[in-house]
């Protein structure tokens, strides 16, 4: 247990300095109906590391991420980024939503989607200039999608769509990257390409947090884990927090294929 | 085409064009958000609002009509939300129930009201009075430069042009947030964009166009223009910017071709009377959509 945990009590901080944490949640509860999906969760995202959010289906992984971004409004609790209110730090945070959350039949091109990552820079009416398009192309190049810039997004494979979303997040030039299931339904080549980009971000000192469901790759991909099943089950470096004991506590009786894969 | 055209046909065609474009523009976003039915709902609920406004004020001046329509639109949105929440009905069904019920209520109210002195009746509600919006002060094309003649333009012409201008400027100004929030609401929210407000803004824009157009051209054109030109345009291109352009072109084509066919088509076929312009404009837009569905380059498999 870190000293941070000792000074919080269900979201009521007792003299706590969160300034060094890119992201901190304290006592965050989210509910869509009567039943809370995420209950009184504390989370401390370490700077310059790659953290996996892990838990069974319906454990509130995506909801937690959305609450951390202000995409859903928590019922209770607070979210800070570098110790400041989330709203003041949005320019430093990039987001990759679940691929299935948008309609890929939308009439737009790959380069337009990536350009959306520059919205904070462009605002309502500022002209798109050559340097903006250069940045877009550089981001597409980094995920290996430069040659698809003019494609309609519906013509891409699932893996290519996921890379476009990652390129859009890169265009945001943030310090903290939050990704919702970036490896869901993508091919092996895309998975390798994405993890290479995320690791290079980490090596540049950026912070990466991803909702992840494949337990067999956690040790290879991530530095830290955050285990959740509606409540926080464990948090820390992979070696300490990603153990048979914490996994059993998180997944309960539902020890899925992932655990078997990990054992095998 | 001479003086007679300017007097009798120019203003109805212009009003039809502006009404069609004002509705088709927000219709593009409603289509992409799978909310096209909202345009349908708004154009129906406008009727009881206008009747109530007439009962309260005793006039059919533009301002009370607009206020009544806006009030009715608000009531319908609240009712739809209430039925969806408490009745546990999906939103499409809730909308269907609310707008047919309110339109029916408007018809009943209208029948019980003495509106003989003014032209407000069920037929007007459905297909407006486009043919009667003539420009009596015009003596020919030169009247377009004559301030005195211009002052005699039907007020609907200016009102509809202004409505289209407002909708067009708002769309241009908020283009990036509109596109972003329509494509990826979660990402837009993470950027800090007020997506609820943007969604509401689109509906309000549609309501503005519907209320203004309703008075001049009736609900048939409004409903058709919210859906047909954008849906046909979507099949022509894979770029939103181009889709908007195509939808404006299809709206114009429907309004002009529809008006001309309604006025002269039956005569060409040997009939003696013309048919409803509103009905023909809506029909043309439907035919355009049908042709696009059969031959357009970006049909879905």
Q: What mean pLDDT do residues B265-271 have?
A: 80
Report the percent of chain B where pLDDT is more than 90.
42
Average pLDDT value for residue range B102-121: 77
Evaluate whether B60 touches B52 at the Cβ level (below 8 Å): no
Using CB atoms, which residue from A101, A103, A105 is nearest to B186? A101
Nearest-angstrom CA–CA distance, B110 and B50: 10
Spell out which residues of chain A touch residue B243, defining contact as CB-CB under 8 Å.
107
Q: How far is CA A256 from the centre of its chain?
A: 23
Residues 6+ apart with CB under 8 A from B226: B23, B24, B26, B27, B30, B36, B39, B40, B43, B206, B210
> A-side interface with B, Cβ within 8 Å?
66, 69-71, 87, 90, 93, 95, 97, 101-103, 105-109, 112-113, 116, 119-120, 122-125, 152, 154, 168
Contact B187 A97 (CB under 8 A): yes
Query: Number of helices and strands (H, E) in chain B?
Result: 13, 0
pLDDT of B251 strictly over 50:
yes
Distance from CA of B205 to the nearest CA of A (A): 18
DSSP assignments along chain A, one per residue: --HHHHTEETTEESS---TT-SEEEEEEEEESSSSEEEEEEEEEEPTT-EEEEE--TTSSHHHHHHHHHTSS--SEEEEEETTEEGGGGGGGEEEE--GGGS-TTSS-BHHHHHHGGGHHHHTTTPPP-HHHHHHHHHHHHHTT-GGGTTSBGGGS-HHHHHHHHHHHHHHT--SEEEEESTTTT--HHHHHHHHHHHHHHHHTT-EEEEE---GGGHHHH-SEEEEEESEEEEEEEHHHHSSHHHHHHHHTT---HHHHHHH-
Q: Tell me the three-class secondary structure of B180-230, residue by residue.
A: HHHHCHHHHHHCCCCHHHHHHHHHHHHHHHHHHHHHHHHHHHHHHHHHHHH
A114 with A139: CB under 8 angstroms? yes
**What confidence score (pLDDT) does residue B137 get?**
86
Residues of chain A with pLDDT under 70: 1-15, 253-264
Q: Number of residue pairs across A and B with CB atoms under 8 Å?
A: 69
- Higher local confidence (pLDDT), B174 or B72: B174
pLDDT of residue B119: 61
**pLDDT recorded at residue B55:** 85
Closest of B98, B37, B43, B46 to residue B72, by C-alpha: B46
DSSP letter at B270 equals T
Tokens 């201008």 belong to which residue?
A: B165
Q: B69-78, B97-106, B115-124, B184-193: which has the minimum mean pLDDT? A: B115-124
What is the spatial distance between Cα B36 and Cα B41, in angstroms, rounded to a whole number? Answer: 9
CB contact under 8 A, A101 and B184: yes
* Residue numbers in B near A128 (CB within 8 A): none
Contacts of B175 in chain A (CB under 8 A): 124
Instruction: Tell me the CATH architecture of domain A3-253.
Output: 3-Layer(aba) Sandwich (3.40)
How far lies B40's CA from each of A262, B21, B95, B264, in Å?
54, 16, 9, 29
Provide the mean pLDDT of chain B.
88
Asked if B102 and B72 count as a contact pair (C-beta separation under 8 A), the reply is yes
Residues B197-217 pLDDT 10s: 999 899 889 988 988 888 778
Provide, as residue numbers in chain B, all residues whose Cβ is less than 8 Å from the Cβ of A105: 300
DSSP A179-214: EESTTTT--HHHHHHHHHHHHHHHHTT-EEEEE---
The residues, any chain, with a CB within 8 Å of residue B82's CB and separated by 6 or more, are none
Q: Which residues of A touch B189 (CB under 8 A)?
A: 69-71
According to DSSP, residue B34 is labeled T
- Give the start-to-end residue ranges of the domains of chain A: 3-253
What ipTM was assigned to the predicted interfaces of this complex?
A: 0.90
Q: Which of B191, B244, B246 to mutate to test the interface with A (most CBs of A within 10 A)?
A: B191
Residue with more model confidence, B257 or A35: B257
Q: Quick check: B100 pLDDT over 60?
A: yes
**Which residues on adjacent β-strands are paired with residue A93?**
A176
Say if the Cβ atoms of A70 and B190 lie within 8 Å.
yes
pLDDT of res. B89: 83
Contact at 8 Å (CB) between A80 and A122?
no
> Could you tell me which chain A residue has the CA closest to the CA of B172?
A125
**CB contact at 8 A, B202 and B28:** no
The pLDDT assigned to B156 comes to: 87
């Amino acid at each position: 247990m870190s000293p941070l945990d000792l000074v919080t009590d269900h979201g009521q901080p007792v003299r706590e300095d969160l300034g060094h944490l890119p992201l901190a949640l304290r006592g965050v509860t989210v509910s869509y109906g009567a039943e809370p999906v995420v209950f009184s969760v504390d989370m401390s995202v370490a700077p310059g590391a790659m953290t996996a959010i892990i838990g069974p289906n319906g454990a509130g992984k995506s909801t937690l991420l959305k609450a951390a971004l202000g995409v859903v409004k928590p019922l209770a609790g607070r979210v800070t980024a570098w110790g400041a209110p989330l709203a003041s730090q949005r320019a430093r945070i990039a987001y990759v939503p679940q691929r299935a959350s948008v309609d890929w039949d939308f009439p737009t091109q790959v380069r337009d989607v990536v350009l959306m990552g520059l919205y904070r820079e462009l605002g309502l009416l500022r002209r798109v200039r050559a340097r903006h398009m250069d940045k877009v192309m550089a981001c597409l190049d980094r995920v290996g999608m430069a040659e698809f810039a003019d494609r309609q997004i519906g013509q891409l494979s699932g893996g290519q769509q996921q890379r476009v979303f990652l390129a859009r997040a890169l265009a945001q030039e943030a310090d903290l990257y939050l990704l919702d299931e970036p490896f869901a339904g993508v091919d092996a080549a895309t998975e390798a390409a994405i993890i290479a980009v995320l690791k290079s971000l980490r090596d540049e000192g950026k912070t990466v947090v991803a909702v992840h469901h494949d337990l067999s790759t956690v040790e290879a991909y991530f530095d830290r884990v955050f285990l959740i099943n509606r409540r926080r089950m464990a948090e820390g470096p992979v070696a300490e927090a990603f153990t048979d004991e914490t996994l059993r506590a998180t997944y309960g009786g539902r020890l899925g294929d992932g655990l078997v894969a990990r054992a095998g | 085409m001479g003086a007679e055209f300017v007097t009798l046909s120019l203003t109805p065609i212009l009003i039809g064009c502006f009404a069609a474009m004002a509705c088709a523009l927000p219709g593009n976003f409603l289509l992409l958000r799978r909310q096209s039915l909202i345009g349908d709902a708004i154009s129906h609920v406008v009727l009881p609002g206008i009747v109530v406004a007439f009962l309260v004020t005793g006039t059919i001046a533009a301002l009370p009509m607009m206020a009544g329509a806006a009030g009715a639109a608000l009531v319908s949105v609240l009712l739809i939300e209430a039925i969806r929440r408490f009745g546990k009905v999906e939103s499409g069904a809730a909308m269907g129930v609310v707008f047919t019920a309110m339109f029916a209520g408007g018809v009943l109210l209208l029948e019980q009201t003495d509106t003989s002195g003014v032209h407000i009746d069920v037929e007007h509600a459905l297909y407006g009075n486009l043919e009667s919006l003539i420009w009596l002060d015009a003596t020919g094309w030169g009247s377009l430069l004559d301030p005195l003649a211009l002052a005699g333009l039907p007020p609907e012409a200016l009102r509809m042009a202004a409505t289209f201008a407002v909708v067009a400027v708002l769309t241009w100004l908020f283009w990036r947030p509109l596109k972003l929030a329509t494509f990826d609401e979660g990402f837009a929210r993470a950027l800090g964009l007020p997506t609820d407000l943007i969604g509401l803004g689109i509906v309000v824009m549609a309501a503005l166009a519907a209320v203004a157009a309703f008075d001049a051209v009736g609900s048939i054109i409004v409903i058709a223009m919210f859906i047909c030109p954008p849906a046909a345009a979507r099949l022509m291109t894979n770029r939103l910017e181009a889709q908007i352009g195509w939808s404006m072109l299809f709206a114009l084509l429907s309004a002009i071709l529809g008006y001309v066919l309604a006025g002269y088509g039956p005569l060409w076929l040997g009939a003696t009377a013309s048919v409803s312009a509103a009905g023909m404009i809506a029909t043309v837009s439907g035919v355009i959509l049908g042709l696009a569905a059969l031959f357009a380059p970006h049909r879905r498999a």
